[in-house]
């Protein structure tokens, strides 16, 4: 049985089912393994892991610990309640279809710009702000017209190009998040620039560490974690870089309980944009496929952020971010009460729980159907749960 326990309840002889943290937050080769000694426990606690999951059938038990299913039923209920209370803002000025083509062009151009930028930095060239500003402005304008077009596009990544595409995704998510937080557009643009540059310090990390296909050694892990401070210092030396961008770059791995890096800042010691960037960075990392890591579905990643906000993130900001992305974001595959599979194509106009979906597959008859759209706000059907596209061999983006 899978159970959730505090890390200080760990004992040698327990089997860890899931360390319950992002891959960049621990130095272990695997997420699941048997604990053989107290040194391992000390490493887990010092890594900032506060709660994790054990398998009581493979090791020692904690009798009164909550089961995984019990805990996640609670999380689901809390997020559902949050979604029901959230007031939907006015519809975007452009539809997803109208914005999709422009978003594709902007996304492709942004990827090229970031690729050239990071290559220049790796070769020791001066960072040129003039080359970045138009890219951030184009992304921001697209987000303002319809955030779902660009953000859903950003979920499609090439594993080998992750560092560059992740930077573009974080830029877009921070722009959307900053707008959700009601900042002025000039502030939103500065936040977007910070998102585009947040991992620039990785260009100072040796290639054999940055692109290593397997787990990092302890010493390599220390070097990889240095990228936040390296990036911050690089931006401080670059004329014209706004303070917001410097904060985002230097603080996107800080955690409100003081377990982050590089400076182990706590709570309000971390800037507002540093706290926002930490949420966005983890969300995009969790939902991205890597050579050694299969990305989560967005709904599952949002639940993880909600869970981790107990210690690592600002809970109110996490809730705002969840409402921004939507419980079932555009591009999600969902199962309906009627027994049909559908792709979310438009956020709900009345409730986050009732988006517009495109029916694509009949589970009962086990075959695809001619796609058609239904607005779940009409309450003729409802979402039961999100589904893994991989499990059904369905690419949701083929239907958007």
Secondary-structure class of domain 96-325 per CATH? mainly alpha
Domain boundaries, the chain: 2-64, 96-325, 333-398
- In this prediction, residue 217 carries a pLDDT of 82
- In this prediction, residue 30 carries a pLDDT of 79
Reported as a single tens digit per residue, the pLDDT across 57-90 is 999 999 999 999 999 899 999 999 998 888 887 7
Is the pLDDT confidence value at 316 over 80? yes
Exposure on the CB side of residue 216, measured as CA atoms within 13 A: 21
Is the pLDDT confidence value at 293 over 90? no
Residues 237, 44: Cα–Cα separation, whole Å: 36
Report the pLDDT averaged over residues 368-384: 93
Residues 214, 118: Cα–Cα separation, whole Å: 23
Is the pLDDT confidence value at 56 over 80? yes
The more confident residue out of 217 and 177 is 177
Confirm if 199 and 231 have CB atoms less than 8 A apart.
yes
> Which tokens is 347 given?
């956020």
Q: Show the beta-strand stretches assigned E in the chain.
A: 2-6, 15-18, 33-34, 51-55, 66-67, 333-336, 340-346, 356-362, 367-375, 383-386
Is the pLDDT confidence value at 5 over 60? yes
Reported as a single tens digit per residue, the pLDDT across 93-143 is 888 889 999 999 999 999 999 999 999 999 988 888 888 999 999 999 999
Q: Which residue has the tokens 């190009």?
A: 161
Task: Using a pLDDT cut of 90, give the percent of the chain over it.
Answer: 72
Is the pLDDT confidence value at 279 over 80? yes
Residues 26, 253: Cα–Cα separation, whole Å: 12
> Which tokens is 195 given?
């998102």
- In this prediction, residue 37 carries a pLDDT of 93
Q: 3-state DSSP call for residue 369?
A: strand
Q: Which of 152, 154, 153, 111 is closest to 135 using CA atoms?
A: 111
Confirm if 256 and 266 have CB atoms less than 8 A apart.
yes
How many residues comprise the chain? Answer: 400
- In this prediction, residue 25 carries a pLDDT of 63
> Taking all residues of the chain, what is their mean pLDDT, rounded to a whole number?
91
- In this prediction, residue 39 carries a pLDDT of 93
To the nearest 5 percent, what fractions of the chain are helix, strand and coil?
50, 15, 35
Q: Which of 265, 282, 275 is closest to 317 using CA atoms?
A: 275
């Amino acid at each position: 049985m899978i159970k959730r326990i505090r890390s200080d309840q760990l004992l040698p002889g327990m089997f860890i089912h899931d360390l319950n943290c992002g891959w960049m937050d621990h130095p272990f080769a695997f997420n699941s393994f048997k604990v053989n000694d107290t040194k391992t426990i000390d490493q887990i606690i010092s890594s900032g892991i506060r709660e994790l999951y054990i398998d009581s059938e493979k090791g020692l038990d904690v009798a009164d610990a909550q089961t995984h299913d019990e805990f996640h039923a609670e999380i689901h209920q809390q997020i559902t309640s949050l979604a029901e209370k959230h007031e939907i803002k006015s519809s975007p000025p452009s539809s997803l279809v109208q914005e999709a083509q422009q978003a594709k062009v902007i996304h492709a151009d942004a990827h090229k710009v970031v690729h050239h930028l990071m290559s220049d930095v790796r070769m020791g060239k001066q960072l040129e702000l003039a080359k970045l500003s138009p890219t951030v402005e184009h992304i921001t304008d697209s987000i303002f017209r319809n955030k779902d077009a660009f953000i859903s596009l950003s979920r499609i990544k090439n594993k080998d190009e992750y560092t560059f595409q992740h930077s573009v995704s974080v830029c877009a998510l921070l722009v959307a998040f900053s707008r959700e937080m009601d900042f002025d557009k000039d502030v939103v643009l500065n936040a977007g620039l910070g998102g585009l540059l947040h991992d620039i310090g990785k260009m100072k990390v040796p290639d054999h560490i940055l692109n290593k296909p397997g787990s990092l050694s302890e010493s390599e892990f220390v070097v990889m974690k240095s990228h936040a401070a390296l990036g911050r210092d690089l931006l401080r030396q670059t004329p014209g870089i706004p303070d917001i961008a410097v904060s985002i770059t230097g603080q996107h791995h800080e955690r409100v309980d003081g377990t982050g890096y590089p400076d182990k800042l706590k709570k309000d010691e971390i800037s507002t944009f540093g706290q926002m960037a930490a949420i966005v960075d983890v969300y995009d990392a969790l939902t991205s496929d890597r050579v050694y890591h299969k990305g989560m579905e967005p709904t599952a990643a949002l639940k993880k952020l909600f869970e981790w906000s107990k210690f690592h993130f600002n809970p109110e900001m996490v809730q705002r971010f969840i409402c921004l992305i939507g419980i079932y974001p555009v591009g999600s595959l969902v199962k309906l009460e009627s027994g049909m599979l559908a792709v979310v194509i438009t956020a709900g106009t009345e409730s986050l729980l009732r988006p517009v979906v495109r029916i694509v597959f009949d589970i009962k008859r086990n075959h695809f159907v001619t796609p058609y759209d239904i607005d779940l706000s009409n309450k003729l059907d409802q979402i039961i749960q999100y589904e893994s596209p991989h499990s059904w061999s369905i690419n949701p983006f083929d239907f958007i």
